[in-house]
């Protein structure tokens, strides 16, 4: 258990600036999820903390010690890379017990720990297998068990669940959270999956182009994202351009594509703004039903997804809206039908109009 501090860390590869003046403190015992598109610098960040990359500038401090010039094995971290880096000539069991063995743990205690970790990742039945005999997903689980059994002060996980079957991923992320919370290890977990981030994180850090855009609890970032990019990355959003007028009660009045809407979150902006609403915040009703404020449109596509139905509604001048109501509320909706999209005023987010255009502001790569 230890606090990790990145102090103005920069790293370039040739002309590509992978990390730019990164200031980030990961608190003692915190589970920090780093979220961002490919190429945002997420893996570079982990490798810098692990000591596999030396920063061009800045310091890395773990548990109060400046480790910037220390080799990886002196830092007390366990790093699980995307490539797993399993020991090919060792069995699953030997991989999982490697680190505690090196540290000279008593056999009994070591075995107990390895058994618990291999059970959690559902590999205890394959303890005698070699990595090459395992599927990609199993190798990933083996690497995760090895990292968890390393008893490190800081755990660095790079997309640790990516190769797993969708269903198993859900099971393991629930258990991973419980386990690490119990042990209290400081953890940095990199992913591009926003649902995984919401479920696991104490705090989320959003990266883009080597820069830290925002760090905060899931609730803060979700409710009050600092930019349209962050909002869009943390959940499916629809954006539309609008003109905002202030009103006395603290809400903003919006004129957008021939429709008038109220927006109560971040109502301080006026003039041309970029407005956005999350697909899950929108409701859907029959056109004559008019429940609250919103717009009418035609359903262009409908995908059943289980607990939710994903709709794309053509809302005329407002553009296409993504709407993801719970199945129980939208079972009746069919493609080609007119519907009323409910857009609650507290869920409409306003952003300053991006100077470089909307699509550049949202671009993920």
Partner 1 sequence: MPRVEAVGIRKRFGRVTALEACDLAVEDGEYLAILGPSGCGKTTLIKILSGLWEPTAGRVRVDGRDVTGVPVEERDLGYVFQNIVLFPHMDVWRNATYGPWVRARPPPEIQRVGREVLELVEMLDERGMFPSELSGGAQQKAGLARALANKAKLLILDEPLSALDTRVRLDLRYALRRVVKDLGLTAIHVTHDQEEAMSVADRVVVMRKGRIVEADAPEALYERPKDLFTANFVGENNFLEGSVARIVGGWAFVEFRNGHQLRVRAERLLVGDPVVVAARPESLAVARDGFGNVIPGRIQGARFLGSTKRLIVRLFTDDVVSIDLPSSQSLNTDRDVMVSFNETSVLVYPRPYMGLQEALRLE
The binding track of 249-278 with respect to partner 1, each residue x by CB under 8 A or -, is -----------------------------x
Choose one: 95-103, 259-267, 298-306, 352-360; the region binding partner 1 (CB under 8 A): 298-306
Euclidean distance between CA atoms 150 and 105, whole angstroms? 11
List 306, 334, 355, 356, residue binding partner 1 (CB under 8 A): 306
List 83, 101, 109, 135, residue binding partner 1 (CB under 8 A): 135
**DSSP track, 178-211:** HHHHHHT-EEEEEES-HHHHHHH-SEEEEEETTE
Under rule CB under 8 A, residue 202 binds partner 1: no
Q: What number of H helices and E strands is found in the chain? A: 10, 20
Cα dihedral sign, 182-197-166-329:
positive
In the bound state with partner 1, the residue whose beta carbon lies nearer, of 52 and 198, is 198
Choose one: 20-28, 113-121, 238-246, 305-313; the region binding partner 1 (CB under 8 A): 305-313
Choose one: 25-33, 57-65, 168-176, 239-247; the region binding partner 1 (CB under 8 A): 168-176
Rounded to 5 degrees, φ, ψ at 248 are: -75, -25
Euclidean distance between CA atoms 180 and 144, whole angstroms? 12
Binding residues for partner 1, rule CB under 8 A, total: 38
**Shortest distance (Å) from residue 219 CB to partner 1:** 5
Question: For residues 308-347, which are near partner 1 according to CB under 8 A?
Answer: 310, 326-328, 331
Which run of H or E residues covers position 230? Answer: helix 228-233
Residue pair 251/264 in contact by the 8 Å Cβ criterion: yes
List 9, 149, 154, 218, residue binding partner 1 (CB under 8 A): 218
DSSP-derived letter for residue 293 is S
Rounded to 5 degrees, φ, ψ at 297 are: -165, 180
Under rule CB under 8 A, residue 137 binds partner 1: yes
Euclidean distance between CA atoms 39 and 113, whole angstroms? 36
Note the residues at the interface with partner 1 (CB under 8 A): 38, 122, 135, 137, 165-168, 170-171, 192-195, 198-199, 217-219, 222, 234-235, 278, 280-281, 301, 303-307, 310, 326-328, 331, 364-365
């Amino acid at each position: 258990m230890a606090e990790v501090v990145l102090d103005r860390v920069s790293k370039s590869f040739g002309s590509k600036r992978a990390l730019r003046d990164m200031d980030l403190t990961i608190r003692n015992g915190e589970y920090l999820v780093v979220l961002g598109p490919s190429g945002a610098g997420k893996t570079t960040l982990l490798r810098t903390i692990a000591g596999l990359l030396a920063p061009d500038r800045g310091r890395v401090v773990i548990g109060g010690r400046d480790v910037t010039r220390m080799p990886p094995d002196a830092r007390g971290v366990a790093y699980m890379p995307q490539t797993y880096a399993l020991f090919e000539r060792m069995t699953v069991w030997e991989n999982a017990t490697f680190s505690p063995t090196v540290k000279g743990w008593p056999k009994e205690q070591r075995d107990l720990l390895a058994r618990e970790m291999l059970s959690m990742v559902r590999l205890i039945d394959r303890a005698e297998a070699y990595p090459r005999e395992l599927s990609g997903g199993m190798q990933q689980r083996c690497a995760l068990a090895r990292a968890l059994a390393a008893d490190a002060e800081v755990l660095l996980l790079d997309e640790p669940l990516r190769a797993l079957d969708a269903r198993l991923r859900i099971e393991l992320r629930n258990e991973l959270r419980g386990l690490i919370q119990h042990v209290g290890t400081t953890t940095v977990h990199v992913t591009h999956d926003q649902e995984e981030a919401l479920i696991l994180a104490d705090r989320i850090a959003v990266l883009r182009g080597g820069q830290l855009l925002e760090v905060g609890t899931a609730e803060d970032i979700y409710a009050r994202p600092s930019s349209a990019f962050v909002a869009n990355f943390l959940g499916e959003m629809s954006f539309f351009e609008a003109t905002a007028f202030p009103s006395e009660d603290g809400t903003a009045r919006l004129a957008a594509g021939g429709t008038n809407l109220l927006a109560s979150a971040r109502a301080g902006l006026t003039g041309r703004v970029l407005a956005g609403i999350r697909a899950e915040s929108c409701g859907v009703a029959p056109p004559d039903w008019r429940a609250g404020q919103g717009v009418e449109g035609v359903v262009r596509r409908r995908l059943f997804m289980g607990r939710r139905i994903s709709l794309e509604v053509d809302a005329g001048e407002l553009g296409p809206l993504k709407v993801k109501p719970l199945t129980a509320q939208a079972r009746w909706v069919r493609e080609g039908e007119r519907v009323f999209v409910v857009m609650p005023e507290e869920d409409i987010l306003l952003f300053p109009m991006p100077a470089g255009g909307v699509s550049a502001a949202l671009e993920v790569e």
